[in-house]
Amino acid sequence: MILLKNERNMSTKLTALLVVLIMIGEIGSASASIQNNKKTPIKHLIILMMENHSFDNLFGVYGKTRSGNIAKGVSIPYNLLSRPVAQNLTPVPTGSYSTSNPYEGYYNYHRDWNNGSMNGFLNGSGPSSLSYFSVNQTAIEWALAQNYGIGDMYFSSVLSETLPNRLYGLAGYSPVKQDQLSPPPYVLYNDTIFSEMDSYGVSWAYYFLNPSSFTYPLNFIEGIGVKSSHIDSWDNFTNSVISGRLPSVTWVSPVGGGAQNFDQHPASNILIGEIWLFNIVEMVMNSKIWNSTAIFVTYDEGGGYYDQIPPPSIGSLQLGFRVPFIVISPYAKENYVSNTVLTHTSILAFIDYNWGMPPLNPLVSRSNVPLDFFNFNISYANGDISRPPLQFNTSFLEFNRSGLDFSQSTVYQYNNIGSLFPMRFQFNLSKLAYSLQGSSNFSLSQVSSSYYVKEDHPGTSTPPYLIYGMLILAVIVVSAVVFVLMRRSIRR
């Protein structure tokens, strides 16, 4: 049959419409599939990664009150209370909230580590590395750990500095082994958890104080610029929480975007970062999304501070020093200590597990998933599975509760922060139907043999094919010049 011009146009439009409808149907099916595949009641995961503190630096004497007694009923993780305090370790004095910055660096940390002997800190990172905080400086984080879950075997991903560890937390690998000011090399966007979530219809956002400022470490991800709608401000994070429209997975960054002192990097006052953390936690607790949310709080690397536990390996990857990890959720077990070996790629494994995606890459596949922190099945005394929000006595903390950016000048007056710990438990611990300590060795390798990214390749500012093309062209030009010169020489 021969169609007239108008009929052909109509046929083309109907065909295009049919294609669009099929695509919409496929997208809808993919989104529905992801929702159906979700393994837990957690619909929102908020990731807060602070800066440069080891586990023993912040939680070395966790459980010890201002009076010097061990708090009753508080589950004590493996810390300095488990053994005599090592020689030269020094507590930060009451009334002080900071230390000078230990010497940082890939090689400094390897001297600290000393092939697992954990006795080179004085030579590697210097005298400040041997200081540790107590309840007088860390009561907010201690209170959160007491009432929810804390991991005492969570390690940074590599025995190195901030940049490679933060990249491991976003892509499960890093093309750099230590800090550097700017790329290249880059992580390719297609190798990141962001790309995987895009492919499977899982919403996400990354929040900075000011996203138009320096968006570290996202500036090391080649191709993320086209996803600028996912990179947003602290103010819009607050608005999204209050409105109940927060994306499925969010990072709220105290680093980059013009933020100063919120990340707890020494020599900052660590109470500023604690109040920033607490502001986020309290905001979520009082929002519509609390009953479907988990908050993961961790640190990118140990910063040169002492820790007593030799870091293990995952396959051929030597993990870095032990850092704090706190899980806050209405489904988090009360007063729980996890002994599960975890690292930054374990958070990626949780994202993949919870939203029914394949492991991002082989390392994520082998990383333990932090599931033992949660109680998804057993009811409490009130008949509920989820726990109500905590009621904190923080009336003396006068800071801006309408947003995350607050005046830091008033923080220096708080010398009684230690009074926040210990808190009253929500339930009778003796009647809880789960253990207050445990571990899990579950990884995605036990349930999946496929990967989203089979092999990672570092990106460069110039595409590889252009580099190779320019090299070939250079060889051709040089060869032509040599040929012409030889012809001239022969003629003479």
- Asked if the structure places residue 454 within a domain, the reply is no
- Asked if the structure places residue 2 within a domain, the reply is no
Q: Are residue 30 and residue 179 in the same domain, yes or no? A: no
pLDDT, residue 407, reads 81
Q: Are residue 23 and residue 47 in the same domain, yes or no? A: no
Residue 306 has pLDDT above 80, yes or no: yes
Q: What is the pLDDT of residues 46-87, one digit of tens each?
A: 999 999 999 999 999 999 999 999 999 999 999 999 876 667
> Residue 395: which CATH number?
3.40.720.10
pLDDT, residue 416, reads 79
pLDDT, residue 376, reads 96
Task: State the Cα–Cα distance between residues 165 and 187, nearest whole angstrom.
Answer: 13
Q: What is the pLDDT of residues 341-397, one digit of tens each?
A: 999 999 999 999 999 999 999 999 999 999 999 999 999 999 999 999 998 876 656
Nearest one of 257, 216, 264, 242 to 58, comparing CA atoms: 264
Average per-residue pLDDT in the chain? 88
Q: Are residue 32 and residue 55 in the same domain, yes or no? A: no
Task: State the Cα–Cα distance between residues 297 and 28, nearest whole angstrom.
Answer: 33
Mean pLDDT of 20-45: 57
Confidence at 322, pLDDT banded by 50, 70, 90: very high
- Asked if the structure places residue 461 within a domain, the reply is no
Which residues, 6 or more positions from 273, have their beta carbon under 8 angstroms from its beta carbon?
A: 50, 254, 261, 262, 263, 264
pLDDT, residue 11, reads 43
Number of domains composing the chain = 3
Residue 36 has pLDDT above 80, yes or no: no
Answer yes or no: are the C-beta atoms of 253 and 218 closer than 8 Å.
no
Compute CA 479 distance to the chain's CA centroid, rounded to the nearest angstrom.
52
Mean pLDDT of 32-49: 80
- Name residue 90's beta-bridge partners: 131
pLDDT, residue 342, reads 98
Task: State the Cα–Cα distance between residues 380 and 333, nearest whole angstrom.
Answer: 11
- Asked if the structure places residue 324 within a domain, the reply is yes
Lowest mean pLDDT among 10-24, 118-132, 323-337: 10-24
Q: Are residue 480 and residue 403 in the same domain, yes or no? A: no
φ, ψ of residue 376 to 5 degrees: the values are -105, 0
The radius of gyration computed from the CA coordinates of the chain, to the nearest angstrom, equals 26
Residue 25 has pLDDT above 70, yes or no: no
Q: Are residue 27 and residue 55 in the same domain, yes or no? A: no
- Asked if the structure places residue 1 within a domain, the reply is no
Q: Give the rounded percent of residues in the chain with a pLDDT score beyond 70.
A: 85
Q: List the Cα angle 47/355/41 in 5-degree steps.
A: 80
Answer yes or no: are the C-beta atoms of 303 and 54 closer than 8 Å.
yes
* Domain membership of residue 32 as a residue range: 8-37
- Residue position matching structure tokens 């993320």: 224
Q: Are residue 186 and residue 90 in the same domain, yes or no? A: yes
pLDDT, residue 15, reads 41
Task: State the Cα–Cα distance between residues 64 and 68, nearest whole angstrom.
Answer: 6
Cis peptide before 362 (omega within 30 of 0): no
pLDDT, residue 110, reads 98
1: helix, coil or strand? Answer: coil
For 486, the enclosing helix (H) or strand (E) is helix 464-491
Q: Are residue 286 and residue 199 in the same domain, yes or no? A: yes
Answer yes or no: are the C-beta atoms of 259 and 208 closer than 8 Å.
yes
Q: Are residue 93 and residue 118 in the same domain, yes or no? A: yes
Q: Are residue 379 and residue 488 in the same domain, yes or no? A: no
pLDDT, residue 466, reads 40
Which residues, 6 or more positions from 167, have their beta carbon under 8 angstroms from its beta carbon?
A: 173, 174, 175, 176, 187, 217, 220
- Asked if the structure places residue 480 within a domain, the reply is yes
CA 32, 37, 39, 45 dihedral sign is: negative
pLDDT, residue 30, reads 40
Q: Are residue 155 and residue 71 in the same domain, yes or no? A: yes
- Asked if the structure places residue 317 within a domain, the reply is yes
For 140, the enclosing helix (H) or strand (E) is helix 135-147
- Asked if the structure places residue 267 within a domain, the reply is yes
The tokens describing 183, both together, are 């790329």
Answer yes or no: are the C-beta atoms of 451 and 365 closer than 8 Å.
yes
Residue 206 has pLDDT above 80, yes or no: yes
Q: What is the pLDDT of residues 260-275, one digit of tens each?
A: 999 999 999 999 999 9
Percent of the chain as helix, strand, coil, to the nearest 5: 40, 15, 50
Task: State the Cα–Cα distance between residues 285 and 289, nearest whole angstrom.
Answer: 8
Task: State the Cα–Cα distance between residues 302 and 321, nearest whole angstrom.
Answer: 6
Lowest mean pLDDT among 9-13, 74-78, 321-325, 373-377: 9-13
Confidence at 410, pLDDT banded by 50, 70, 90: confident
Task: State the Cα–Cα distance between residues 144 and 298, nearest whole angstrom.
Answer: 13
Q: Are residue 400 and residue 473 in the same domain, yes or no? A: no
Residue 276 has pLDDT above 60, yes or no: yes
Instruction: Tell me the one-letter amino acid at 173.
Output: Y
Q: Are residue 283 and residue 175 in the same domain, yes or no? A: yes
pLDDT, residue 6, reads 43
Task: State the Cα–Cα distance between residues 383 and 424, nearest whole angstrom.
Answer: 20
